Amino acid sequence: MTGCQDIQPISIQNQAQGIVFALSSQPGHLDPHLTSDEEVGIVLRQIYDTLIYRDPTSRALVPGLADNWTIDEGGLVYTFNLRQGVLFHNGTPFDASAVAANLDRIMAQPPDTFARRLLGPYSSYEILGTYSIQLRLTEAYAPFLDGLSQPYLGIASPSALSAYSVNRYQYHQVGTGPFILEEYVPGKRIVIRRNPNYLWGPSFLSSNSDGDAVDRVTFTFIVSEVERSEAVQNGGVQISDRIPPSLARSLSANTTLQILPVILPGQPVQLLFNVQRFPTDSTSVRQALIYSSKRNQIADRIYQRFAPIASGAISSTTLLFNRGSLVPYPEDTARAQELLSAEGYADGNQNGILDRNGAEFQIQILTLTGDLIPEVVGLLAEDWSALGIQVEIVPVPTVTSLVEAIQTREYNLIAYSQTFTDPAFLNDFFTTGGAKNWGNYNNPSLDTVLVQARAELDDDIRRSLYLQAVTFIQEQAWTLSIADVASIYVADTNLRGLLFDLSGVPMLFGTVYRQSS
């Protein structure tokens, strides 16, 4: 099954510059407006342009399909002046009506669709001219521009959108981006080819138009981590994502390979405490569990030092991260024992398990797979068992099953992480009534800070507010932050010029592949 039937074949002079990119899973849906899959984002980033981009180095917002933009004083009206002379892959022109058609399509999807959620409180648009459009919000929302820079809000050709049903469009995608979708065969491959007419890329994206520029990328799906790494070693694949740290460490001595760990923004690997269930309803108990966690050992054994130890509820590459005066929790087993003793815990019946008033110290942890979380929880259970704490680990295979388990409220901790570029995600997890307030947190003062931070457009003020919020979360010991998440790529050393956006997605247009002679 092939895609983009309305695109005329383009002659590529140097077919030798094709590369193979191994992904760890097959996409459930390839449509940018319908998916939230991080690996699908790798493909989408190559096919689509966004209204604005973030420079991977400076992290500043820079023009994309929008030449410039202004924001009204109240933060409710965004006016975009669009780039002229841009063509979709099928030859149709990009203009304000194209932006409007994409917004209409996104808003027609269910409210929980990722692309729609990225738009936040967006409400409507007004086309001011052929190359000018105004977007309106119902409330000030600082992450709005960052959302517009995500590949899930890539601008698609209106003529292609209208030519195919929602389910069929994924096989016939048409953007304005640096690569053109050539073929999508579900379960086998996705093929994209270089757009020779791409002259409107963001300022940071090198054209590398010489003969070494990568002109075709074939994405293949290899579920096995070992098989993906072997494919790179034997030359059948030039780059692979999601290589586990232990395997990446073993490959680091191979001089024909480069190991590329990318620290992802958002939440680190962490455990969220349920502060309304015994015994984690006690701040001292939560602090004791944090002090007795051997995070350095975890960083060594599980993450092989590819991922740094986390500094709080947001990872170090998240926008507006500020280490500032965060409350430290060094490894201190003696301090943990003191806190538990002060709470009245002792091994009264000499069975190796702490108890208080006849009740044994037991905690239950809900554990999702991914990001090596089960392995992390296993080591934490060893640390806590050594203190005399009985640990029950409850694995949950999917987010859906996790939500079902959360509704019972019969848990003490949830092991979880997720990628977010803007720290406004904290509102979902830590404000009273937040959509993912799984720890049952409730503090009006923190609510005020987080709501203000989400609406504030001044980055310096936002940074200060988020430092207040994260410091408070640590003071209350609401989370046990383990390590930032590292997405590890392994690539042929002949593959050069790789750029990664803030979400850890590679941008391949500036990449060259110089095969060894």
Residue-wise pLDDT for 487-502, tens only, equals: 999 999 999 999 999 9
The pLDDT of 428-438, averaged and rounded, is 97
Distance CA 237, CA 235 (A): 5
Q: Does domain 15-261+488-513 have CATH number 3.40.50.720?
A: no
Other C-beta atoms lying within 10 Å of the C-beta of residue 185? 12
Q: Per residue in 30-71, pLDDT tens?
A: 999 999 999 999 999 999 999 999 999 999 999 999 999 999
Per-residue model confidence (pLDDT) at position 70:
98
The pLDDT of 434-452, averaged and rounded, is 97
Listed by start position, the domains of the chain span: 15-261+488-513, 269-484
Identify whether the C-beta of residue 47 lies closer than 8 Å to the C-beta of residue 177: yes
Identify whether the C-beta of residue 198 lies closer than 8 Å to the C-beta of residue 178: yes
Distance of CA 300 to the CA centre of its chain: 23
In CATH, the number for domain 269-484 is: 3.10.105.10
Distance CA 220, CA 222 (A): 7
**51, 83, 60: which is closest to 148 by C-alpha?**
51
Q: Per residue in 85-110, pLDDT tens?
A: 999 999 999 999 999 999 999 999 99
**b/e per residue, 244-265, with b = 16+ CB within 10 A?**
bbbbbbebeeeeebbbbbbbbb
Q: Which residues contact 360 (CB under 8 A, 6 or more apart)?
A: 353, 354, 390
Residue 352 reports pLDDT greater than 60: yes
Band (210; pLDDT cuts 50, 70, 90): low
